[in-house]
Amino acid sequence: MSRRPYIAGNWKMNKTGFEAEDFVFALLPQIAGDDIAEVVICAPFTALSNVIDSSRGTRIKVAAQNMHEAESGAFTGEVSAGMLRDIDVRAVVLGHSERRQYFNETDEALAAKVVVALENDLEPILCVGETDAQREANETEAVLKTQVETALANVPAEKLGDVVIAYEPVWAIGTGKTATNELAQEACAFIRSLLDPGAADKVRILYGGSMKPENAAELLAQPDIDGGLIGGASLKADDFAALVAAGDAAA
């Protein structure tokens, strides 16, 4: 794999600050070897500082799970890119299917968020993917095309390589279902084909549908899958360490 593997754990709405610190302390001895894959923890807002402080000087990069596109203003309950940078957050998940489904996040809103993240030196982890109904209707490619092209429409060509894209088939998130290696590779290759040719080989594309230690090696062996955006399997330090090891081995 020419692109550096990227193993990101998305904790969603799990872990208090103390639980987050316990996780980091349990994880670090298990990933202290070769610093090959990038290791990212996407923590809830209230645990971000705990993860940052307990992982300083290590290979762990800390990401938020969402942000607002405005610099400041009357947006109760929201957090800006500048606020995230202020506490040393280095990346942010944007457009996760749960944000789209439960909070009506649109591709147009994401187009603004991706640009703002890049302007604030935050690495955007842009999530795209189809529902079960959309796949059954043979709409997968049309959905991915709309999501990718709309969200990246305002990204300068020289910045495109700084974006990480996570393909998350909605039907495989939290269901225990996993796309076959062939389906996952096909979708990730299609996403890469939508990107500017000058940056397509630089952009890391992750698989985000129930990756776990048992299937990680086969998924990461696919030529267009550069890592994983991992939900449930990232909540236990031992499981996440195994996924990091799979990422190291895939390099």
Report the C-alpha gap between 98 and 105 in whole angstroms: 9
Report yes or no: 129 and 168 within 8 Å, Cβ to Cβ.
yes
Report the C-alpha gap between 36 and 245 in whole angstroms: 9
In 96-193, alpha helices (H):
97-103, 107-119, 132-136, 140-151, 181-193
DSSP 24-79: HHHHGGGG-S---SEEEEE--GGGHHHHHHHTTTSSEEEEES--BSSSSSS-TT--
Pairing of strands 60-64, 91-94: parallel
Q: Which residues are catalytic?
A: 96, 168
What does the block give as tokens for 104? 């009506």
